[in-house]
Amino acid sequence: MTNPPEKTRQADGTAASAGAASMQSAMSRPFISRVVPLKRDLRYDRSTGRAHLPVRVCLRDGTAISTTLDLAPGQVELLYIQLERGIELREDTLRQA
């Protein structure tokens, strides 16, 4: 004996199977294509040690949202190391060209 599929309610109040609801939800979710820093200064909060970097989140549907990337002290250090390494690799490539 099998169990009947679960039913959920759609936004309009009508019933839908759980599979259809999850598929509809997945299709309507925006997908991030990239996050880019804005040409604005990073803010530093002395009381928490957190840095706040203005960024633009670009979605696959062509829309974009401006927000802030909030970084804990350890994340700031990690980002510094990663960016420093990226700059070194770029400089090495330019020197070889």
Which domains occur in the chain, in start order? Answer: 31-96 (3.10.450)
pTM of the model: 0.62
**What is the model's pLDDT at position 3?**
47
26: its two tokens:
């997945």
Q: Identify the weakest region by mean pLDDT among 11-25, 26-40, 78-92.
A: 11-25
| pLDDT, mean over the chain | 82
pLDDT digits (tens, 9 = 90+) for 44-90: 999 999 999 999 999 999 999 999 999 999 999 999 999 999 999 99
Asked if residue 14 has pLDDT above 90, the reply is no
**What is the model's pLDDT at position 25?**
54
